[in-house]
């Protein structure tokens, strides 16, 4: 990115005073052990009052010292009472901004802002908790201005509609794809799609697993009346229990999904992508397009059967921990995914030719690992009691099917601008479309057995901390990818050589 603007874009500002309540609650939470001792230990009332006053005092002092500013193209966050700390994030290094509003914050009308930068894959580089709508807008304008506009010293935001206002104005209309002032609505998640996304989300499976465990562990403690009722109604027995638990899991998945994905909206605003979502708590993220290194198309098992997929972006700093932040769009029909990506990110190059499949002689290699695991599971299942032992017949066929699917679905293509890799992990099929020079690190893996069979693995890693790779491919192809992917362009190389 170009040089950040100099000068004071945002002067030293304290957080919204509501932070006093949030800070007090936070300090009270930390002081719970002491409070338990004083309350249940029979201490006089004034000791508890003094403790509470101390907690309040700490919260006020923390609010007083915690200040943020944007000066000389750098975001500064000062905090700490005893150990004072200053967190410094150059604006030019910011890879994404994510504004959020929990239910509590929404009730009192404040926002939080996560500022993401490279090299911090497990969370935000800086999180600013309590900002009023106006302050949030002011800060976002200052942080988004790097390389785009010059923020003048001590100027107030212009009279035009704020980002949040623009969101709200747009959301009230539902008119799609009308570019106005560089603002283009790319896609909006409909209610039906949201429900499909919620039901097919992995959270539903996890909830089902949890309720199954809870049921089989604690069902014996049910009251007698409930047990008798369960014997009366149809269907009864294990099937009824399973149907009920599945419905509970689906309901929980729908509730969670609705809270998280309600009215997911993707907007292209000049050189940034914006999204907003959420029913009770609100989230709005900003991603500079120039920071997007790759797009990942994820086809989960159920979604693939229904003809849907989800889209994710690879951005520095947003790695495995931030599933929701890396989401480009949660659910789209597979045949429309390419069109959506092309509209949202026209800068992302697509390969002109079709993807290359692996030669048949490599397919056999894909059977090895699943069958080894399957053999292990088969042995373990032989120790299961009673009829459960019969489950041992499943792993080997499933392992074989997985191996065949992995071999048949693995594809790749590289050209002057882009690289595409497709592979299956277990249930999900992933396709990554990346700038050819977008990866941080490329790896070729081999072993004596692979070398003898003339195969090798290739993997590329992104600054998000995630990777894309094909486990087995023809070794010359893997070597070719190692030579072409991730390397600086010829012009850059020449520049580097000249400098060295």
Partner 1 sequence: METTASPPAAGELSAVPLAGDLPSERHRLPARVTRYWRWRAFYGSLPLLVLLISGAIALPWGPWWVRWGIVGVVVAVTAASMLILPAIRYRVFWYAISSTEIDVQSGIIFRKRSVVPMHRVQTLRSERGPIGGHYRMTNLKIRTAAGSVNLSGLDRGEADELCERIGRLTNLADDV
- Does 3 bind partner 1 (CB under 8 A)? Our answer is no
**Which member of 357, 381, 398, 404 binds partner 1 (CB under 8 A)?**
357
Shortest spacing between CB 377 and partner 1, in angstroms: 23
**CB contact at 8 A, 264 and 275:** yes
**Which member of 265, 275, 312, 463 binds partner 1 (CB under 8 A)?**
463
**CB contact at 8 A, 458 and 468:** no
**CB contact at 8 A, 249 and 211:** yes
Which 47-106 residues touch partner 1, going by CB under 8 A? 93, 95
> Which of these segments, 163-171, 187-195, 227-235, 348-356, binds partner 1 (CB under 8 A)?
348-356
Nearer to partner 1, 96 or 136 (CB): 96
Q: How far apart are CA 117 and CA 98, in angstroms?
A: 12
Which residues on neighbouring strands pair with residue 411, listed in sequence order? 357, 422
H or E stretch covering 418: strand 418-424
If we measure between CA atoms, which residue out of 172, 134, 171, 187 comes closest to residue 156?
Answer: 134
- Does 286 bind partner 1 (CB under 8 A)? Our answer is no
Q: How far apart are CA 423 and CA 430, in angstroms?
A: 6
- Does 462 bind partner 1 (CB under 8 A)? Our answer is yes
Q: How far apart are CA 61 and CA 56, in angstroms?
A: 9
Give me 454's structure tokens. Answer: 């003339």
- Does 492 bind partner 1 (CB under 8 A)? Our answer is yes
Shortest spacing between CB 115 and partner 1, in angstroms: 15
Q: How far apart are CA 301 and CA 255, in angstroms?
A: 21
**CB contact at 8 A, 340 and 187:** yes
Number of residues assigned to the chain: 500
Local structure of 139: helix, strand or coil: helix
> Which of these segments, 25-33, 69-77, 263-271, 355-363, binds partner 1 (CB under 8 A)?
355-363
Nearer to partner 1, 18 or 313 (CB): 313
Which 389-418 residues touch partner 1, going by CB under 8 A? 411, 413-416
- Does 440 bind partner 1 (CB under 8 A)? Our answer is yes
- Does 486 bind partner 1 (CB under 8 A)? Our answer is yes
Nearer to partner 1, 15 or 146 (CB): 146
- Does 182 bind partner 1 (CB under 8 A)? Our answer is no
If we measure between CA atoms, which residue out of 462, 492, 442, 423 comes closest to residue 293?
Answer: 462
> Which of these segments, 140-148, 211-219, 299-307, 349-357, binds partner 1 (CB under 8 A)?
349-357
Nearer to partner 1, 262 or 436 (CB): 436
Matching residue, tokens 């609100």: 282
**CB contact at 8 A, 65 and 82:** no
**Count of residues near partner 1 by CB under 8 A:** 58
If we measure between CA atoms, which residue out of 59, 87, 56 comes closest to residue 74?
Answer: 87
- Does 368 bind partner 1 (CB under 8 A)? Our answer is no
- Does 445 bind partner 1 (CB under 8 A)? Our answer is yes
Which 116-145 residues touch partner 1, going by CB under 8 A? 118-119
Residues that bind partner 1 (CB under 8 A): 1, 93, 95, 118-119, 290-291, 316-317, 338, 350-351, 353-357, 359, 411, 413-416, 437, 439-448, 461-465, 467, 474, 476-477, 480, 482-484, 486-488, 490, 492-493, 495-497, 499-500
């Amino acid at each position: 990115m170009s040089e950040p603007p100099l000068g004071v874009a945002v002067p030293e500002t304290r957080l919204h005073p509501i932070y006093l309540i949030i800070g007090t609650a936070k300090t009270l939470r930390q002081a719970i052990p002491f409070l338990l001792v004083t309350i249940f230990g029979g201490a006089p009332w004034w000791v508890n009052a003094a403790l509470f006053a101390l907690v309040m005092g700490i919260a006020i002092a923390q609010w007083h010292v915690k200040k943020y500013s944007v000066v000389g193209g750098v975001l500064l966050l000062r905090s700490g009472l005893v150990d004072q700390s200053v967190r410094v994030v150059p604006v030019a290094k910011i890879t994404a901004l994510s504004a959020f509003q929990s239910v509590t914050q929404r009730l009192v009308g404040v926002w939080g802002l996560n500022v993401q930068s490279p090299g911090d894959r497990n969370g935000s580089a800086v999180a600013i908790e309590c900002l009023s709508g106006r302050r949030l807008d002011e800060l976002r304008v200052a942080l988004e201005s790097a390389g785009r506009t010059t923020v003048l010293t001590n100027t107030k935001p212009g009279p035009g509609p704020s980002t949040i206002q623009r969101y709200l104005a747009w959301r009230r209309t539902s008119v799609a794809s009308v570019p106005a002032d560089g603002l283009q609505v790319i896609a909006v998640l409909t209610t039906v799609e949201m429900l499909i996304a919620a039901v097919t989300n992995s959270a539903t499976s996890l909830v089902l697993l949890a309720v199954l465990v809870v049921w089989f562990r604690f069902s014996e403690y049910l009251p007698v009346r409930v047990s008798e009722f369960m014997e009366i109604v149809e269907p009864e027995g294990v099937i009824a229990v399973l149907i009920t638990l599945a419905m509970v899991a689906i309901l929980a998945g729908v509730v969670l999904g609705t809270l998280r994905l309600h009215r997911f909206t993707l907007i292209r605003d000049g050189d940034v992508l914006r999204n907003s979502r959420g029913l009770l708590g609100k989230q709005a993220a900003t991603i500079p397009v120039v920071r997007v290194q790759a797009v990942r198309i994820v086809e989960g098992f159920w979604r693939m059967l229904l003809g849907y997929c989800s889209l994710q972006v690879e951005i520095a700093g947003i790695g495995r921990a931030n599933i929701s932040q890396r989401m480009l769009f949660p659910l789209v029909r597979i045949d429309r995914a390419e069109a959506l990506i092309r509209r949202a990110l026209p800068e992302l190059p697509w390969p002109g030719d079709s993807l290359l499949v692996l030669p048949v002689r490599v397919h056999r290699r894909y059977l090895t690992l699943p069958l080894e695991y399957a053999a292990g599971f088969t042995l373990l299942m032989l120790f299961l009691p009673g009829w459960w032992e019969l489950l041992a017949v499943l792993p080997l066929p499933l392992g074989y099917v997985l191996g065949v699917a992995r071999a048949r679905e693995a594809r790749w293509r590289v050209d002057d601008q882009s690289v595409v890799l497709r592979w299956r992990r277990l249930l999900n099929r992933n396709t990554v479309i990346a700038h050819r020079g977008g990866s941080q690190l490329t790896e070729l893996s081999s072993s004596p057995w692979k070398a003898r069979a003339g195969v090798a693995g290739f993997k590329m890693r992104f600054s998000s901390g995630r990777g894309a790779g094909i486990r087995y491919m023809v070794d010359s192809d893997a070597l070719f990818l190692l030579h072409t992917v991730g390397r600086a362009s010829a012009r850059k190389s020449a520049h580097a050589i000249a400098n060295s």
